[in-house]
Amino acid sequence: MKSILSICAGLVSLATFAQQVPKPILPDVYADPHIAVFNKTYYIYPTTDGFEGWGSDKFTCWSSKDLVTWKNEGVILDLKKDLTWAKERAWAPAIAEKNGKYYYYYSADTNIGVAVCDKPTGPFKDPLGKPLIAKGQYQAQSIDPMVLVDDDGQAYLYFGQGRCYIVKLNADMISFDPNNVISYKPEGYNEGSFAFKRKGKYYLMWSEYDTRDPRYSVAYGVSDSPMGPFVKGDKNPVLKGSGEVKGAGHHSVVKVPNKDEWYIVYHRFKIPDGNGYNRETCISSMYFDKDGNILPVDVFEVVKGRK
């Protein structure tokens, strides 16, 4: 009888665990998710994971109306077919829209490229025939681009591992003046910068530690300017693993149109048996206090989605 009770208790414990850890929102393994919303549809642009050394050579796009059910829109950029200057290590993309065109920024063999399309689901084309930012052009590794388009239409590019670089993009969205690049390294900064604006304040978020480290996490700073300097918040990190959730980081955030309602999308080690090469994409709500500080994210929250 004691053995049966122990088994029952174990089953209850497993059931409780299953309820506590939400399922990933994308199937299989994807990392470095960039989320955006265009015309009432949400899109996620991730890194395809599961390769030792992060050797993926293609990018995909996923779409959703409710943040819960996601449709695979297929390959939107294939490095081997679509580029002449890089064939592997397709990492950490981002997207921005301006004047009816969609600009897709991405890492390729530790260069940063840009591609363009008339729709957010691609296929995207390389307008330059070369990197936007070449490997070794700056002290930091040239990866993890992110673009913020401000209310006045001016776009800002953020990038870099080890240091964060910021520069205004030209009106064409595919060039910038190298003389205007500034360098910034918040305390703890490693990679994965993401910038957004809320109530007149600019937020810069970034990942700390290494993506293979279970301590991988997200912190942030605030500024009155998209160019910084950014003052790191007192209560950091705002996103980190807990219990079975490990390596929660390299995120992006999205605002529900016409509402002060925010969500954060990020990766964690695959559960079970995940690591820095096998990561899965998750979503949680993101809240602010009355002073605009980002509150700690609940990685065990089950997001029910929106209509």
Per DSSP, the residues of 142-202 read: S---EEEE-TTS-EEEEE-BSSEEEEEBPTTSS-B-GGG-EEE--TT--EEEEEEEETTEE
Tokens of 147: 């673009």
- Across-strand partners of 155? 149
Spatial distance between the Cα atoms of 34 and 266, rounded to a whole number of angstroms: 8
In the chain, the amino acid numbered 50 is: G
Tokens of 206: 């970034």
If you search the block for the tokens 């065990």, which residue do you land on?
A: 300
Q: One of 32, 57, 126, 280 is an active-site residue; which one?
A: 32
Q: One of 49, 191, 208, 280 is an active-site residue; which one?
A: 191
Tokens of 290: 């009355």
Contact 95/34 with Cβ under 8 angstroms?
yes
Active site residue 57: no
Active site residue 97: no
* DSSP three-state, residue 235: coil
Active-site residue list: 32, 191
